[in-house]
């Protein structure tokens, strides 16, 4: 009868488990994994954050891959560079490939020259008056007499007013990297450089990976096409946001696999040593595997995509989920109520992460909750039925007795706790100003070596990371282009003052239609032009009769239809323009990246954001808008959204680094707040479940001490705290509460004979947890290491402190 | 980029000791010179123009590879060659050119720099040299070895007496030419 009574639930439980496992496997197999920074970007951003996020995910900078060909001979590098550029330009995966070769430069020059009268900023209503012509031609003659004279000589007949010289100045000649053997090269001539702009957005990790593979393929082909001797020593290096996300994904995949295997191996060794039973070991792993599977499946269902880092956190689940089966196997009398309460406190901790606006944290919360619940349920309702009738593990009672003796002896020294706590508090106080790391890059999975490579290649290229962007948004392309021109005029003085080194603007290649119209209308009709030119040159050594080519060019320009985006097709300016003028569902956006000025020693001078904002605000003021004043009381470092009403365009000066760090600060503040809610929920839960403030304190005090001492220790060791440390502290409480609850139960339990076994199970469970997190602490991914190095010592301390304090705090009759 | 094309330099200084009147003697004398500061007047004869355009200013030289051309009229402009890098300042504009990137400019630069430095080997890497006259009054004509590399440059003729250069004439293949006449030394 007894047998039959159990068979029902056993079969039901097992069947249900099998069904759920199958469903979870199907979900997991169809899951997409990603590894970019998006896990740490807000799901519901503010306007500025939205700009920042779209820049980080899809912006110009996110699509750039810098390629360096290192080693070998200069001529071999140039040959590889040329070969790669040729292949990559044919690939639809790239919108632009530049390596400094002559390809396309002739077309670019032809475009600029053919349209010089609408592109030149010198063309204003006075340009083609008699005085204007005379002045412009005299300037050109002066230039002829200078050492640069021969440069303009060949253009004299067609361009006597020097518009091409003006345009070359505008476009900013001399910004390009050095050239050696016809291709771009690093300053020390050791690397050939190539810049590829991908079609895929930076956030599209798969697309970026394909682009990187295409570059590798082009490199391999180009090298293979060379004679054996020339190939020697050549190597390929790449950097850029896309390269980073692909590398991060690979690293995380490797790390997750490596660390999972390592912590599995260690835990298996630990359990084998304890149980001396293979069946017990295998059964003990069932809840772990079930939990991990349930976690991934839940995240996949909830978010549609699983972030690689979530899997990294998942490793910690191994150490925690295995605890339940340890309790089941070892404790003489399973205290499911206590374990259940432990699971509930953990859930309270992780649930605090669920409402986070950052997908990475919410995923972590959901993963851990579903994983723990699944592991606990499997341990409670499936595993007991699977235990063979002659299930035996080694007797661990001697271990428990030894631990009990040790605890009794050690508790006399528990005053050390007080000293440690005071020392930790002092350390936190001393380091209070440098306690927190407030930079978003603290979360970056990019290794230091990769960051160094990126810095080196950018320096080679003379292309510092774009930090400041002016973002102009409006309803139409014409509206944003017109406003871009106003802002550009406002920025010019900053170049002279040395506040900025320069700026990029799409209107250098395609002025607004209004400006084009203005410039064309400055040109008088052919007869009048001829008369004016005669008069203007009467006092000059250049006779009008020699300038027939000029007259026909300028007449053609006068009647030419307005330039549009399609006129740029076939030039390298097309890609440049497209990266700066973007259309989305809300309208048009133009971007003006600012360049830092350089000091005499060639170092970059930091751009002062408030001066840029003032100049931009003044540029709008000049057009009659007053909206800038409305934001005068905004903090100096805040973006100043500013509307120019009559143009229907908004201008924002975006400091990418500042915005990113502000974003991170918000994120940090939110995590601290959510963690506090989580802790409060745990306290309330314990109060309700234990029905005694004293018992609640007995459970919470050792955990609080563990958190305090770990935080103090991290500060002493010079670690700046990041979000991951805060989450780690939450985990110390969530995991440690299991231990504390057992000691609380022991203190109120009359049945003390089970003590040694309970103690043994706690020590083994704790060892498993410490191993799991300890392995994580060895990760090369900074955020995984931060979590591991917080929780591993924290969990150990939580157990020790719980044991020590359990002996000291009074036993109350309340819960017995 | 022929910005450097018309760059010319000369040096006036105390007389060097007398030696054999041949090219090597000239080169040797020139190589003794470590510093020079003179005035110049330059005329460019351009077919398009009815009369030549003129400019004037000062030239400075410090051995072995720093040249500076300070144009004072008609517009102030400074052009400095140092360690193979040319920087130009004209009004608000500032340009920097690395000569290694502009091999077509090298003949213009080397003709002047290597002559001033008395570096015959460097000259012969780029030009065919012909020497006429004597050490006391000489003409050194430089014709580029590689016409493709030198672009529009046809030849450069330097005239001088002993270790002083008096005139540099640059002839272009289209017939246009520039004549740079060296004036007296500037007292510093």
Q: What is the dihedral of CA A280, A281, A282, A287, to 10 degrees?
A: 90
Residue contact A541–B49, C-beta within 8 A: yes
Task: Pick the residue from chain A with its C-alpha nearest to B52.
Answer: A541
CA dist., res. A364 & res. A366, Å (int): 6
Q: Taking CB atoms and an 8 Å limit, are B49 and A151 in contact across chains?
A: no
- Residue A640 parent element (H or E): none
Q: Do A541 and B50 touch (CB under 8 A)?
A: yes
In a domain, B61, yes or no: yes
Cite the DSSP H helix spans in A560-602: 573-580
Quick one: residue A648, left, alpha or beta (phi over 0 = left, psi -120 to 50 = alpha)? Answer: left
* Token pair listed for B112: 């002047």
**Within A30-104, where are the H helices?**
47-58, 74-90
**A573 φ, ψ to 5°?**
-70, -20
The residue to which tokens 């170049």 are assigned:
A495
Q: Which of A416, A778, A165 is nearest to B1 (CA)?
A: A165
Q: Which residues of chain B have pLDDT under 50?
A: 1-20
For chain A, what is the radius of gyration of the CA atoms? 35
**Beta-sheet pairing, A32-34 with A305-307:** parallel
CA-based nearest residue to A584, from A436, A435, A475:
A475
Tell me whether A142 touches chain B (CB under 8 Å): yes
**Nearest chain B CA: its distance from A543 CA (Å):** 7
Residue B53 has its nearest CB partner, among A144, A148, A169, at A144
Using the beta-carbon criterion (under 8 Å), do B53 and A156 form an inter-chain contact? no
- A508 in Cβ contact with A580 (< 8 Å): no
Say yes or no: B50 contacts chain A, CB-CB below 8 A.
Answer: yes
Distance from CA of B127 to the nearest CA of A (A): 21
In this structure, is residue B161 part of a structural domain?
Answer: yes
Closest-CA residue in chain A for B57? A146
Residue A406, number of CB atoms within 10 A of its CB? 13
Residue B17 domain-assigned?
no
Residue A681 contacts B, CB cutoff 8 Å: no
Are A322 and A397 within 8 A, CB to CB?
A: no
Measured between beta carbons, the chain A residues lying within 8 angstroms of B168 are none
The pLDDT tens digits of the residues spanning A621-668 come to 544 333 333 333 344 444 444 445 555 678 888 887 787 788 778 878
Residue B4, in any domain of the structure: no
CA-based torsion, A156, A157, A158, A160: positive or negative: positive
Asked if B152 has any chain A CB less than 8 Å from its own CB, the reply is: yes
Closest CA to B141 of B154, B122, B125: B154
How far, in Å, CA of A537 to CA of A252, rounded? 72
Instruction: Give the separation between CA A278 and CA A354, rounded to whole angstroms.
Output: 38
Q: What is the CATH number of the domain that holds B141?
A: 2.50.20.10
Residue B15 lies in a domain: no
Would you list the DSSP string of A539-572?
TSSS-GGGGHHHHHHHHHHHHSPPP-GGGGTTST
On whether residue B117 sits in a domain, the answer given is yes
Q: Distance, in angstroms, between A49 CA and closest chain B CA? A: 38
Q: In this structure, are residues A78 and A180 in contact, taking their beta carbons and an 8 Å threshold?
A: yes
Residue B66 lies in a domain: yes
Tally C-beta pairs within 8 A across A and B: 75
Q: Check: CB of residue A295 under 8 Å from CB of residue A363.
A: no
Interface test with A, best of B44, B54, B173 (most A CBs within 10 A): B44
Give Cβ neighbours of residue B27 (< 8 Å, ≥ 6 apart): B118, B119, B120
Domain that holds residue B51: 23-185
B9 within some domain? no
How does pLDDT run across A453-480, given as a tens digit for each residue? 888 887 777 666 678 888 888 889 999 9
B133 to chain A nearest CA, in Å?
29
Does the pTM surpass 0.90? The reply is no
CA distance A63 to chain B (A): 28
Q: What is the average pLDDT value for chain A, to the nearest integer?
A: 82
Mean pLDDT, consecutive 10-residue stretches, chain A (816 aa), reads: 52 84 86 68 66 73 88 90 92 87 79 93 92 92 76 84 85 65 82 90 86 95 90 90 84 82 88 86 89 91 83 74 84 76 87 82 89 91 83 80 81 81 90 81 73 82 75 89 90 88 88 94 93 92 91 93 89 81 83 83 80 82 40 42 59 82 81 88 90 88 93 90 87 86 73 70 89 86 86 93 71 40
The CA distance from A399 to A405, in Å, is: 10
Q: Cα separation of A364 and A355, whole Å?
A: 11
Q: Would you call A193 helix, strand, or coil by DSSP?
A: strand
Phi, psi of B96 (to 5 degrees): -130, 130
State the DSSP code for A381: I
Residue A192 · residue A77 · CB < 8 Å: yes
A141 touches chain B (CB under 8 A): yes
Residues 6 or more apart whose Cβ sits within 8 Å of residue A203:
A36, A38, A56, A57, A58, A62, A245
pLDDT for residue A254: 84
Chain B, nearest residue to A157 by Cα: B48
Cβ <8 Å between B7 and A151: no
Pair of tokens at residue A10: 């056993």
State how many domains chain B has: 1
All residues at 6 or more sequence positions from A466 whose CB lies less than 8 Å from its CB, including other chains: A60, A61, A593, A594, A656
Q: Which residues pair with A97 in a beta bridge?
A: A196
* Max intra-chain CA distance, chain B: 49
- For chain A, give the number of residues: 816
Distance from CA of B121 to the nearest CA of A (A): 24
Cβ within 8 Å, pair A147-B7: yes
Contact B62, B70 (CB under 8 A): no
Paired with B93 in beta bridges are B90
B3 to A174: CB separation less than 8 angstroms, yes or no = no
How far away is chain B from the Cα of A568, in angstroms, using its nearest Cα?
Answer: 25
Q: Is the dihedral of CA B163, B168, B170, B171 positive or negative?
A: negative
């Amino acid at each position: 009868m007894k047998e039959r009574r159990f068979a029902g639930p056993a079969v039901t439980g097992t069947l249900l488990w099998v069904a759920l496992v199958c469903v979870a496997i199907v979900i997991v197999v169809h899951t997409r994994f990603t590894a970019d920074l998006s896990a740490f970007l807000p799901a519901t951003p503010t306007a500025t954050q939205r700009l920042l996020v779209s820049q980080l995910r899809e912006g110009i900078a996110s699509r750039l891959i810098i390629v360096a060909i290192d080693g070998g001979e200069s001529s071999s590098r140039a040959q590889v560079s040329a070969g790669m550029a040729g292949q990559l330009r044919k690939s639809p995966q790239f919108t632009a490939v530049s390596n400094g070769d002559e390809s396309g430069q002739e077309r670019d020059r032809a475009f600029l020259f053919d349209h010089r009268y609408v592109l030149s900023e010198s063309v204003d209503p006075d340009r083609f008056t008699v005085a204007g012509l005379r002045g412009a031609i005299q300037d050109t003659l002066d230039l002829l007499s200078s050492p640069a004279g021969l440069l303009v000589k060949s253009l004299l007949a067609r361009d006597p007013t020097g518009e091409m010289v003006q345009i070359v100045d505008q476009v900013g000649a001399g910004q390009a990297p050095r050239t050696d053997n016809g291709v771009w090269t690093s300053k020390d001539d050791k690397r050939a450089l190539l810049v590829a702009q991908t079609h895929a957005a930076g956030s599209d990790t798969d697309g970026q990976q394909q682009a990187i593979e295409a570059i590798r393929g082009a490199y391999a082909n180009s090298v293979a096409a060379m004679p054996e001797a020339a190939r020697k020593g050549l190597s390929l290096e790449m950097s850029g946001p896309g390269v980073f996300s692909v590398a991060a994904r690979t690293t995380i995949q490797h790390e997750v696999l490596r660390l999972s295997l390592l912590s599995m191996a260690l835990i298996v060794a630990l359990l084998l040593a304890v149980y001396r039973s293979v069946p017990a070991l295998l059964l003990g792993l069932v809840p772990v595997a079930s939990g991990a599977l349930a976690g991934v499946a839940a995240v996949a269902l909830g978010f549609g995509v699983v972030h690689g880092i979530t899997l990294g956190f998942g490793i910690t689940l191994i150490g925690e989920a295995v605890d339940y089966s340890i309790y089941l196997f070892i404790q003489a009398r399973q205290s499911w109520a206590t374990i259940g309460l432990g699971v509930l406190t953990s859930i309270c901790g992780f649930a605090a992460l669920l409402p986070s606006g950052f997908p990475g944290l919410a995923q972590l919360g959901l993963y851990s909750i579903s994983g723990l619940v699944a592991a606990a349920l499997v341990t409670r309702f499936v595993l007991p039925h699977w235990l063979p009738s002659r299930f035996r593990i080694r007797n661990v009672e001697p271990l428990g007795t030894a631990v009990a003796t040790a605890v009794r002896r050690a508790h006399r020294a528990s005053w050390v706790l007080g000293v440690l706590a005071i020392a930790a508090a002092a350390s936190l106080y001393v380091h209070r100003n440098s306690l927190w790391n407030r930079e978003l890059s603290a979360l970056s999975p990019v290794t230091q070596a990769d960051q160094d490579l990126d810095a080196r290649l950018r320096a080679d290229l003379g292309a510092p990371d774009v930090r400041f962007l002016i973002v102009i948004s409006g309803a139409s392309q014409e509206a944003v282009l017109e406003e871009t021109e106003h802002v550009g005029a406002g920025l010019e003085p900053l170049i002279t003052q040395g506040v900025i080194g320069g700026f990029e603007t799409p209107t250098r290649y395609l002025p607004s239609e209004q400006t084009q119209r203005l410039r064309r209308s400055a040109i008088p009709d052919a007869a009048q032009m001829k008369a004016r030119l005669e008069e203007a040159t009467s006092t000059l050594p250049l006779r009008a009769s020699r300038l027939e080519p000029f007259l026909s060019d300028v007449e053609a320009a006068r009647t030419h239809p307005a330039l549009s985006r399609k006129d740029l097709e076939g030039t390298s300016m097309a890609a440049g323009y497209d990266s700066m003028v973007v259309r989305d569902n809300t309208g048009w956006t133009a971007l003006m990246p600012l360049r830092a000025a350089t000091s005499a020693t060639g170092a970059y001078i930091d751009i002062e954001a408030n001066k840029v904002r003032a100049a931009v605000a003044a540029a709008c003021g000049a057009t009659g808008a007053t909206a800038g004043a409305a934001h005068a009381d905004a903090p100096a470092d805040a973006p100043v959204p500013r509307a120019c009403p009559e143009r229907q365009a908004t201008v924002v000066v975006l400091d990418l680094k500042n915005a990113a760090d502000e974003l991170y600060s918000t994120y940090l503040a939110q995590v601290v707040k959510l963690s506090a809610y989580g802790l409060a929920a745990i306290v309330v839960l314990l109060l309700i479940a234990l029905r005694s403030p004293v018992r609640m304190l007995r459970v919470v005090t050792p955990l609080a001490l563990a958190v305090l001492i770990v935080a103090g220790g991290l500060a002493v060791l010079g670690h700046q705290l990041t979000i991951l440390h805060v989450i780690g502290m939450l985990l110390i409480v969530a995991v440690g509460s299991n231990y504390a609850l057992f000691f609380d139960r022991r203190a109120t339990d009359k049945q003390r004979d089970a003590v040694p076994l309970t103690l043994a199970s706690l020590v083994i469970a704790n060892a498993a947890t410490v191993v799991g997190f300890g392995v994580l602490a060895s990760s090369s991914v900074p955020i995984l290491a931060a979590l591991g190095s917080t929780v591993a010592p924290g969990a150990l301390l939580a157990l020790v402190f719980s044991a020590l304090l359990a002996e000291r705090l009074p036993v109350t009759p309340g819960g017995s | 980029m022929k910005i450097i094309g018309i760059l010319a330099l000369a040096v006036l200084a105390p007389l060097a000791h007398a030696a054999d009147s041949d090219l090597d003697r000239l080169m040797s004398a020139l190589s003794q010179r470590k510093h020079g500061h003179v005035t110049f007047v330059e005329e460019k004869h351009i077919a398009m123009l009815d009369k030549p355009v003129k400019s004037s200013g000062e030239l400075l030289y410090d051995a072995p590879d720093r040249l500076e051309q300070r144009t004072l009229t008609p517009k102030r402009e400074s052009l400095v060659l140092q360690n193979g890098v040319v920087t130009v300042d004209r009004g608000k504009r500032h340009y920097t050119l690395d000569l290694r990137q502009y091999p077509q400019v090298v003949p213009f630069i080397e003709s002047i720099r290597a002559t001033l430095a008395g570096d015959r080997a460097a000259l012969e890497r780029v030009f065919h040299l012909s020497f006429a006259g004597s050490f006391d009054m000489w003409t050194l004509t430089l014709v580029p070895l590689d016409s493709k590399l030198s672009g529009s440059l046809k030849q450069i003729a330097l005239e001088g007496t002993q270790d002083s250069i008096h005139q540099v004439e640059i002839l272009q293949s289209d017939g246009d030419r520039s004549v740079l006449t060296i004036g007296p030394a500037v007292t510093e």
